[in-house]
Amino acid sequence: MATRLPESPKVGMVSLGCPKNLVDSERILTKLRSEGYRMSPDYAGADVVLVNTCGFLDSAKEESLEAIGEAISENGRVIVTGCMGKEAEAIRARFPQVLAITGAHEYEQVVEAVHDAAPPIPSPFVDLVPEAGLKLTPRHYSYLKISEGCNHRCSFCIIPALRGDLVSRRPDAILREAEKLVAAGTRELLVISQDTSAYGIDIRREPRMWKGREVVPHMTDLARELGQLGTPENEVWVRLHYVYPYPHVDQVIPLMAEGLILPYLDIPFQHAAPNVLKRMKRPANEAKVLERLRGWRAIAPDITIRSTFVVGFPGETDEDFEYLLDWLDEAQLDRVGAFRFEPVEGAAANALPDPVPEAVKEERYARIMERTAAISAAKLQAKVGREIDVILDAVDADGGATGRSKADAPEIDGEVFLRDVIGREVGDVIRVRVEDADEHDLYGAPVA
């Protein structure tokens, strides 16, 4: 007579915020899956729901609180984790029925809370976890977190208070994880941290052995090793995010020219006017940055630079904002996101004088988005007629497909819309001829 195994508890997950939070969610789910827990795609089927919160901006906090409220309403058994876990009293004041609250990357505490809420049922008969762990992203791309925390003290940011100072992972551990992801089908590795350029400065004297050779914990060395994980038949894209423009970033550009990593840098400039940068407590070397951009483009002509900027920061004058627009005209960045300044509880910027009126913030936001959209449109129009590589994110039965070029990170940049894609699958990298462009996206078809 066959033995009927008891059904293990189901866990639901709501993951909010940045890719770093997403990686935290994946690690939590991987640990729970290894203990026999099943994953629930909806509230109704879950024995307990985890809400991984974001606490960076007040708007993000409100979104997190709304998500907690929805989970309680739909399920009733909720565990809260993530950045907003630092504000446990505020969460409990609004939702006293929450089962447990933990902070960012407190994996063990989250798992213990799940154990209390829905005890696991051990089963030696089933192998529950793939070697690469569980993922919340599509199979063909993965976020690779290389460090936690940040040593900067930008006046508008509370990340160090939420996640602590920089703590770098061992390079061999990162490479081992990346190798497993590639073996499991990942075609694009998105390298993330709070400050990718600072990787290794806390463990710089601790090189590790990898594949019979010593690897120094440094951004350039790590990028070079990651770029060698693929094969000519199975290319792996490596994309760097959150790169502060330290001098040693110049050493990474030749790796792009060699094809080891994607010619793409995500650099959070935040502003260009010296007065505003000083108030933000960020380096004010905007002229030097322009010179370096020219140097990078000379080495890797196809390099894509994306960045984010804050408008309406306390003390930002009309002259400061015009300076930023002029700087953007000269910098000709490929991808730009902008945010209206928003006070964050605990940030030093809240105490700065001369706040910018909300109406002025809105006007400046509209102007910067209009200016950068025009720059983007011109750059994309220049690609019409060219052949580019595209990684496929979606393919339909009628030959339509959506993908991304090497200039496009998932969810934050543009897309490439394709026709006549036959016999291809999600994750394939194909050669495409660009036929048209708009402000943010490209249109084309596979090269015959």
Cβ 128 vs Cβ 36: under 8 Å: yes
Cβ 21 vs Cβ 159: under 8 Å: no
DSSP string, 334-386: SEEEEEE----TT-GGGG-SSPPPHHHHHHHHHHHHHHHHHHHHHHHHTTTT-
pLDDT (0 to 100) of residue 106: 81
| pLDDT one-digit tens code per residue, 221-279 | 999 999 999 887 788 999 999 999 889 999 999 999 999 999 999 999 999 999 999 99
Residue in 44, 54, 67, 64 with CA at minimum distance from that of residue 20: 54
pLDDT (0 to 100) of residue 59: 85
User: Where does the pLDDT of residue 311 fall: very low under 50, low under 70, confident under 90, or very high at 90 and above?
Assistant: very high
- Considering only residues 347 and 322, tell me which one the structure prediction assigns the higher pLDDT: 322
Cβ 308 vs Cβ 268: under 8 Å: yes
User: Where does the pLDDT of residue 126 fall: very low under 50, low under 70, confident under 90, or very high at 90 and above?
Assistant: very low
Task: Name the CA radius of gyration of the chain, rounded.
Answer: 23
Q: Among 114-123, 219-228, 313-322, whose mean pLDDT is lowest?
A: 114-123
Using a pLDDT cut of 70, give the percent of the chain over it. Answer: 95
Question: What separation in angstroms does the CA of 62 have from each of 66, 74, 156, 189, 430?
Answer: 6, 18, 18, 31, 41
| pLDDT one-digit tens code per residue, 325-384 | 999 999 999 999 999 998 888 888 988 999 999 999 999 999 999 999 999 999 999 999
pLDDT (0 to 100) of residue 429: 95
| pLDDT one-digit tens code per residue, 381-406 | 999 999 999 999 999 999 999 999 99
CA dist., res. 14 & res. 86, Å (int): 18
pLDDT (0 to 100) of residue 133: 66
pLDDT over 80 at 287, yes or no: no
Quote the mean pLDDT of the chain.
90
138's tokens: 């599509």
Average pLDDT of the segment spanning 209-230: 93
pLDDT over 60 at 131, yes or no: no
The number of residues in the chain equals 448
Average pLDDT of the segment spanning 24-43: 87
For 194-302, where are the alpha helices, taking DSSP H only? 219-226, 253-257, 274-280, 286-299
User: Where does the pLDDT of residue 1 fall: very low under 50, low under 70, confident under 90, or very high at 90 and above?
Assistant: very low
Average pLDDT of the segment spanning 83-88: 88
pLDDT over 50 at 124, yes or no: no
Cβ 36 vs Cβ 1: under 8 Å: no
What is the CA 305 to chain-centroid distance, rounded? Answer: 15
Cβ 160 vs Cβ 152: under 8 Å: yes
User: Where does the pLDDT of residue 127 fall: very low under 50, low under 70, confident under 90, or very high at 90 and above?
Assistant: very low
